[in-house]
Amino acid sequence: MNAKPPTEEIPLANGHWQCLNTDEAHGDNPVQQAVRAALDALWETLEGDQPNNLYDLVIAQIERPLLETAMMRCDQNQSRAAQCLGINRSTLRKKLKQHRLLPNEGI
């Protein structure tokens, strides 16, 4: 049975909802399509080698721009950015430090 996956609704700060519409053929939304295309390109660069840390590599590549964008969109307010990301402020701060995104760490 090919049931259509449910549309995910993401709450925005202004109280509105944004739907991530899915592509009927693949069940993907535009973000998933972009990630899949990037993963395919990455896999091609491996030239047949079997990666053993692909998850960590991909998460590291996605996490930094996610944090940068959240901080920018929240006017560098860590509390607001953490709330938008759905994580604790101390977790956000730890991740910002890991990626050297804190003002005193240099971006």
Q: What pLDDT is recorded for position 105?
A: 59
pLDDT-based confidence at 6, cuts 50/70/90?
very low
51-107: in CATH 1.10.10.60: yes
pTM score over 0.85: no
Decide if 41 contacts 33 (C-beta within 8 A).
Answer: no
d(CA 81, CA 68): 10
**Mean pLDDT computed over 62-68:** 95
Q: What pLDDT is recorded for position 81?
A: 97
Nearest to 64 by CA among 38, 97, 30: 97
pLDDT in tens, 25-60: 556 678 888 889 998 998 888 888 888 888 998 898
Residue 64 identity (one-letter amino acid): R
How far CA 7 is from CA of 14, 35, 65, 100, 101, in Å, comes to 20, 18, 24, 35, 33
Residue the block writes with tokens 């590291």: 60
pLDDT-based confidence at 14, cuts 50/70/90?
low
